[in-house]
Each structure stands twice: as C-alpha cells, then as structure tokens.
Amino acid sequence: MLSDPITLYKLMILYMLDHVNFPLTNSQLTDFFLDHEYTTYFTLQQALNELKEAGLIRMESTHNSSRYEITKEGDDTLSFFGNNISPAIIEDIYGLGTVEGIVSHSGFCSYPAFTFDADVISQMRNTQEFMDANTPDDYKLVAVKVGYNFALVPKIELSGIETNATETIVDISGKQYGLLAGRTFEDSQKLDAVLDAFPEYAIKDYKVPNKISVFIMPVQMYWKDDPSEIIETNFSFEDTCGLAIDDSVTFSGYTQNELVDMIDREDNGEDFVITGVGAGHYVGTCKKEPSKNKSVSEKTCNARESSGRLDADRNVDRNDIAKDKEVK
C-alpha cells in the first residue's frame, strides 16, 4: 500500500505510457487525471517533473506541445512496483486503448490510429471522448470561423495564425466547441485558405443558443497578505460578470502569456502573486440566473475593484459577500 499519493500518480503515469506504446502529451495526461478526479493539475505537473528528473520518462517538445514516453529505467521501475496500482485504476487506464502508428489522413495532417475493444467503447459515453483522450494535443480539433461558416480543423493547421475566441458555441454530434476567429484581416485570410481543405458548416445551423465561450486558465496563487496559503483557482481572459461560470473564476482580463510573465512577481500591481499557470482551455457557459447567484469572497471582490482590468466595472453588493476562509 502506498502512503504517498504522488508516488501512486507517478506509477500511473508510467503505466499509461507503457500501455499506449506511444508518446502522450501533457494535455492528454492532464485530461485523464482531471477527468477521473485523481489529483489537481499542479500535483500532476510535479509528478511529471520528478519522473523526468529521475530519468524514468523523457520529454520531447514539438509545436509548442510536450510529449512524454517511458524510458528503460521507467519500465524497470514499473515492473518492480506496478502491482501497487489498483485494478480499478488499471481499468480506467485501459479505457485509453492502444496506439498502433499513424495511418489516417485529413487535410494536410496524419493522425494516430488505435486498437480498442468494442466492449470498452460501448461502455464509454461516446466515441469522441475516446478520440479526445488519445489524440495528441496538436491534432485535436478546434472550430474556426470565417464569415458565416466554420470548420473543424486540427490545431496544428493554425500554426502561424493568430486567433481570438468569439462568444459563439457550436455543437457537432453532441460535442461543443467555442468558435475561433482570425485576430487580424490577414489572419482571417489565412484561415480562409485553411478552411478550403475541410468541410464547412453554416454557423446558424449549429450555434448553441444562449451559450458563450470563455477561455479558462488554471492558476496557482496566494494573496499578498497571506503568502502561506497557496490557492488553486481559475482566471479567465473574458469578463465573466453575469455568467454562470463566474463563481469559479477569481479574476478576468489577463491573457495566458501575461499570467506566465507574472509568475513570482510581487510588483504586479495586484493584491495577489501568481505562482503557477496551467494550460488554458475554452468552456461553454451561459448567463447566470438571478436565483442562483453566489457571492465572491471579500478578497476577490477587493482585487476586482482595485484592478484596472475587466473586473473593475463589476457592481458587487458587499452585503452579499461571502466570508473568506479563516486566515491563520
């Protein structure tokens, strides 16, 4: 029995890399651990870093994506200690399937092909979930628009093209995507050329009513008046005021690059210090129902009001503010 949870996470990572027989991206590993609620984003990154430093896995960075594979030392370690992984966890890992090389093509890209048990697939919520879990991050599909149409294209096709998130959510076969658009006219022209290689759809036929796309970034931080307490929370680029997701967002208005630049900086002009920033992702949300309004903490309220960012214009009823967690 393992007394240290992070040791179990390391063994799980080794088992996953050994099972799929193919380098897995940071995003794929993160999706698995977070979807199954095994641990947090930052604990997983700690486990990956420690495995890499110990030489049990190797990392390769390509197209702004980190991919991991097990080393011989990692394989030896797994053979000695792999029996500490419970059958229930192994069953979850088996749900990933097994990769058998690159065989299928779409547009200008190639994709990994997988073998899987039909019984396993029938027990999953949908086949798209299976594909999402196994597809390298660079080849996952994103929805991009030009004019009144959009297409689903692999993320790698957008290399060199700057995009912005729009507020529109589209639904394709039960899976929802936040629409991306070119940041400049030149970027839109490049996107138009990309869309020529993929099936296009009319936005009006697939738009999800009353849904708004928001870019969420997991952040590790502490309040300057209590540096001993590290908090794991979410930041967003878009203003989430009045949206259902607002209760889970501490702060809005910063881009991911800006947050990364703020790591460990005390002179950031805010009431908090960023200690870590995870990979951001788009989520669909809707306007908040008045009856379901929740209050933000007083510290969050103060930070929002004192900032010159998007949250500065919020109207917060201080009689409704929830008390902070007790500060030691």
pLDDT along the chain (328 residues), means of 10: 77 85 79 85 89 91 75 88 80 61 35 40 40 56 89 86 85 82 90 85 85 84 91 87 84 87 90 88 73 54 56 40 35
Alpha-carbon span 42 to 255, nearest angstrom: 19
CB atoms within 10 A of CB 287: 11
Does 264 reside within a domain?
Answer: yes
Tokens 């030009």 — which residue? Answer: 146
CB 217 within 8 A of CB 232: no
Regarding whether 241 and 185 lie in a shared domain, the answer is no
Q: What is the pLDDT of residue 57?
A: 93
pLDDT at 197: 81
126 & 153 share domain? no
Question: In this structure, are 124 and 96 located in the same domain?
Answer: yes
Task: Report the domain count for the chain.
Answer: 3
**Do 115 and 37 sit in the same domain of this protein?**
yes
What residue numbers bound the domain in which 255 lies? Answer: 212-320
Supply φ then ψ for residue 36, to 5 degrees. -90, 5
Q: Taking a C-beta distance cutoff of 8 angstroms, is the pair 11, 81 a contact?
A: yes
